[in-house]
Amino acid sequence: MPHRTIHLFRKGLRLHDNPTLLAALESSEVVYPVYILDRKFLMSAMNMGTLRWHFLLQSLEDLQRNLTKLGSCLLVIQGEYELVLRDHIKKWNITQVTLDAEIEPFYKEMERTIQVLGREMGFDVLSFRGHTGLLLFRILDMNGGTPPLTYKRFLHILSVLGDPDMPVRNLTTEDFQRCKPAPELHLAECYRVPLPEDLEIPRDSESPWRGGETEGLQRLEQHLKNQGWIANFTKPKTIPNSLLPSTTGLSPYFSLGCLSVRSFFYRLSNIYAQSKNHSLPPVSLQGQLLWREFFYTVASATPNFTKMAGNPICLQINWYQDAERLHKWRMAQTGFPWIDAIMTQLHQEGWIHHLARHAVACFLTRGDLWISWEEGMKVFEEMLLDADYSINAGNWMWLSASAFFHQYTRIFCPVRFGKRTDPEGQYIRKYLPVLTNFPSKYIYEPWTAPEEAQKQAGCIIGQDYPLPMLNHKEASDHNLQLMKQVREEQYGTAQLTRDLEFMRDCGLKHLEYD
């Protein structure tokens, strides 16, 4: 008998290449597309900040519009997810719940709870992988049941497994018309997408990134028009302080599943096939997608992946606990304009270039402040539109040299790094207007400007903008010795994620290190 189905959106907020939703439509006589807005769950599991809430609500609004065009509607139900499901499974006589399979522990726990509920209430649970491009369990099986801990090993396994599955077919009006709930239920009126003010979310802080599948696809198509740029893209050569993104800027849309990784992978493959020469992993665009899959694979089978304690691949480091210094870093008050401009952009827009992330992460951890990468990860989780359980933790372990990255002697200079690509300091002037009138030769080190120059700029360092919170040279030299000692004492752990040949190919040689 055909099912009466609730399709439960969590991530995967799109209609293109949505295998779980397609399976729901093909196996059912009625499908209710549902998003459960469980604020308590979202805040405890993901610590979402204001900009992320706006992006989520915009993505839900867009999904609602796109479903409406196909004769359906998105039903947003507020409340605790288990209670909501119990209530509506009874109300709508549900025989099946479909949802994407996810790798995060909190989503896995949710799925286990739904499985138990299904056995209790008599409904089936169906899930497919939709958020990752690859079958992670096949990668684990090929590696003896454990995750490959180096990118080179990961790529070798992929060379044996082959390319990801092809995207599934597009959904049609006919699919939804065949599975439409009774019109007398007036579902759209009862279960609308809430406005920000309904959730007491201020409107005065909205990112220039607008959420949703439609916006994500438009950005994607715009980039794909420039096939030469796509074919020759080399990530380390992009500019961290350009006033407009020098990368694709698609990461927020992949994070919420507004865009399909598989679709993008095959669109890139088609462009590469038409190009005589194109960039390769790890620095190509396809290589960036595979980095994502690499971190997903490792996170899926590593205990305590987002923590230092109990994490078998992470160096156990006695980081400083300094709430005052952490607060200055978070609030863009370090006294280093390049670092503070990056953190200001993060606050205002919810996005920063990957090399800018490198700079502020190194500054917080092994470079200057010697504060735990977990603290930085929490700030990024709150503020980044593309915050992602696996990638966020993986990158913070990388950037703090706690795992994956082993050239720990390379410490980003908070002055020279930004100056290399933006000697006039236009990026700093945009995000730190208090420094706008400083001459370019002082913009990265305003504390070196003579008093008269500071007065002419209308900004006295130490009053209108803070003095540097530390001496970078002294702090980085000291931290380098601490890290050297840690790695000598924990040599075995450090070697787990080490790949010397790959590191030489990472394309980071041109960056400004101390």
DSSP state of 6: E
Asked whether residue 292 is marked as a ligand-binding residue, the answer is yes
Nearest residue to 315 via CA among 485, 466, 457: 485
- Are the C-beta atoms of residues 207 and 54 closer than 8 Å to each other? yes
Asked whether residue 387 is marked as a ligand-binding residue, the answer is yes
Asked whether residue 192 is marked as a ligand-binding residue, the answer is no
Dihedral angle computed from the Cα positions of residues 17, 8, 177 and 132, in that order, rounded to the nearest 10 degrees: 10
Asked whether residue 388 is marked as a ligand-binding residue, the answer is yes
Asked whether residue 480 is marked as a ligand-binding residue, the answer is no
Please report where in the chains the tokens 């509607």 appear, as a residue. 73
Asked whether residue 188 is marked as a ligand-binding residue, the answer is no
Question: Could you give the residue ranges of the DSSP H alpha helices within 274-336?
Answer: 285-300, 323-330
Asked whether residue 174 is marked as a ligand-binding residue, the answer is no
* Cα(14)–Cα(95) distance, integer angstroms: 24
* Cα(364)–Cα(360) distance, integer angstroms: 6
* Cα(58)–Cα(36) distance, integer angstroms: 15
Q: How is residue 271 written in tokens?
A: 């462009």
Asked whether residue 351 is marked as a ligand-binding residue, the answer is no
Asked whether residue 291 is marked as a ligand-binding residue, the answer is yes
Question: For 213, how many CA atoms within 13 A lie in the half-sphere containing its CB?
Answer: 22
What are the distances in angstroms from CA 182 to CA 28, 76, 92, 172? 14, 18, 10, 19
Asked whether residue 176 is marked as a ligand-binding residue, the answer is no
Asked whether residue 273 is marked as a ligand-binding residue, the answer is no
Asked whether residue 251 is marked as a ligand-binding residue, the answer is yes
DSSP state of 35: E
Task: State the binding site for FAD.
Answer: 247-251, 288-295, 386-388
Task: State the binding site.
Answer: 247-251, 288-295, 386-388
